[in-house]
């Protein structure tokens, strides 16, 4: 029997705070509460909290609206303070690798190793020449401690602080059958970063965040249409172009698409051995909802493209008055939060 539980997720993004409560079991989770609130544009920059009071107030408001009683919280970190890298190291067992990983990591992490929280996963225990492939995961201690302290100020106890890219993999795997021979490109197009992961079965072969994201389109709209940041952001959120020049809008969109395509092409050399292209591209995040993005990616990379639907196997309470968004419409934005909840159930 699976133990029923309730888990609170607070997912603090660049411009949005996503707060959800999930109940049930790890096999049958149900989202019972959900709220999405905007953050000021200056509150978080490059994953770093710049306006702490704004973030605290926004999270408090969301918790109050949802009448949250949970004190244990699951969340994530992302941005330049996170390092995910596939490395090779001498073949050894899990316990030996845990002792050795610190010394191996020093070759790949551009910070003092004492300043980094490290973890790892053995991807391939037999990579030839008496070596193995390992996924190395690091996060700057001050970034981790800052996020932990933020939750303590909210009278919450963080029990899991995951990497954003892994939460996307969690929710994708939960909703789709395991396909060991299929290469999936998971692209989460957020506000400040696009997170890219290459997965085959349950193995994450590559993860990277690039600064080509929705902000890139906002800047292109400002440049092409001569409008301010707020007007450009409103156009992207609502889809209402108003009286701006249609050629300017098209030029901005094509510029953004080309930048995104180049960013993806630059990581293609990291495709796993034996693969020359993706078998499937799955996109999520606010950028995935922009008109023309799936079609562009399909044409550019010659692979089927779908917008992530996290509610294939994951349920939500249809009649809940404490779900303040349309889950079906906001599913691609909620995907990381739902993936985080699977770590806590």
- What CA–CA distances, in Å, run from 177 to 108, 182, 193? 34, 11, 28
Q: Are 285 and 188 in contact (CB under 8 A)?
A: yes
Pairing of strands 29-38, 315-316: parallel
Contacts of 53 (CB under 8 A, 6+ apart): none
Core vs surface per residue 201-226: b (16+ CB within 10 A) or e? eebbbbbbbbebbbbbbbbbbbebbe
Q: In the chain, where does the domain assigned CATH 3.30.1490.300 lie? A: 82-139
Residue closest to 338 by CA, chosen among 209, 190, 135, 162? 162
Give the pLDDT score at 28. 94
Contacts of 1 (CB under 8 A, 6+ apart): none
Q: Please write the tens of the pLDDT for every residue from 34-85.
A: 999 999 888 888 778 899 999 999 999 999 999 999 999 999 988 777 888 8
Contacts of 315 (CB under 8 A, 6+ apart): 24, 28, 29, 30, 31
pTM: 0.91
Give the pLDDT score at 7. 94
Give the pLDDT score at 4. 64
Q: Find the helix or strand (DSSP H, E) in which 250 lies.
A: helix 246-265
d(Cα 343, Cα 159) in Å, to the nearest integer?
10
Give the pLDDT score at 38. 92
The CATH number of the domain covering residues in 178-308: 3.30.420.40
Q: 82-139: which CATH number, 1.10.238.10, 3.30.420.40, 2.70.150.10, 3.30.1490.300?
A: 3.30.1490.300
Dihedral sign from CA coordinates of 110, 112, 114, 115: negative
Give the pLDDT score at 108. 83
**Beta partners for residue 37, in sequence order:** 17
Q: Please write the tens of the pLDDT for every residue from 159-200.
A: 999 988 899 999 999 999 888 889 999 999 999 999 999 999
Q: Which residue is it, tokens 């197009």?
A: 189
Q: In the chain, where does the domain assigned CATH 3.30.420.40 lie? A: 178-308
d(Cα 154, Cα 93) in Å, to the nearest integer?
40
d(Cα 141, Cα 290) in Å, to the nearest integer?
35
d(Cα 18, Cα 63) in Å, to the nearest integer?
10
Task: Report, as ranges of residue numbers, the positions in the chain whose pLDDT lies below 70.
Answer: 1-4
d(Cα 216, Cα 291) in Å, to the nearest integer?
15
């Amino acid at each position: 029997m699976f133990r029923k539980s309730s888990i609170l997720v607070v997912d603090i993004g660049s411009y949005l705070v996503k707060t959800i409560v999930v109940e049930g079991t790890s096999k049958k989770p149900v989202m019972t509460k959900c709220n999405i609130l905007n953050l000021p544009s200056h509150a978080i920059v490059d994953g770093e909290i710049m306006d702490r009071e704004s973030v605290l107030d926004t999270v408090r408001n969301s918790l109050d609206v949802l009448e949250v009683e949970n004190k244990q919280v699951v969340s994530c970190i992302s941005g330049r303070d996170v390092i995910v890298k596939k490395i090779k190291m001498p073949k050894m067992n899990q316990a030996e690798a845990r002792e050795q990983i610190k010394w191996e990591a020093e070759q790949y992490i551009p910070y003092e190793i004492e300043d980094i929280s490290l973890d790892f996963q053995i991807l391939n225990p037999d990579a030839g020449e008496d070596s193995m492939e390992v996924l190395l995961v690091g996060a700057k201690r001050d970034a981790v401690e800052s996020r932990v302290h933020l939750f303590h100020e909210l009278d919450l106890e963080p029990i899991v602080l995951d990497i954003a890219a892994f939460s996307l993999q969690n929710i994708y795997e939960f909703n789709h059958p395991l396909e060991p021979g299929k290469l999936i490109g998971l692209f989460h197009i957020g506000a400040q970063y696009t997170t890219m992961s290459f997965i085959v079965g349950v193995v994450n072969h590559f993860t990277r965040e690039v600064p080509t994201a929705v902000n890139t389109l906002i800047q292109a709209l400002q440049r092409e249409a001569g409008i301010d940041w707020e007007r450009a952001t409103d156009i992207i959120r609502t889809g209402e172009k108003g009286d701006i020049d249609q050629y300017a809008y098209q030029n901005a969109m094509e510029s953004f698409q080309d930048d995104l395509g180049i960013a993806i092409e630059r990581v293609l050399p990291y495709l796993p051995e034996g693969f020359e292209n993706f078998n499937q591209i799955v996109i999520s995040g606010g950028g995935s909802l922009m008109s023309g993005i799936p079609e562009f990616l399909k044409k550019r990379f010659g692979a089927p493209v779908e917008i992530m639907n996290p509610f294939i196997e994951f349920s939500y309470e249809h009649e809940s008055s404490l779900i303040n968004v349309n889950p079906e419409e906001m599913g691609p934005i909620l995907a990381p939060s739902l993936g985080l909840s699977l770590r806590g159930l």
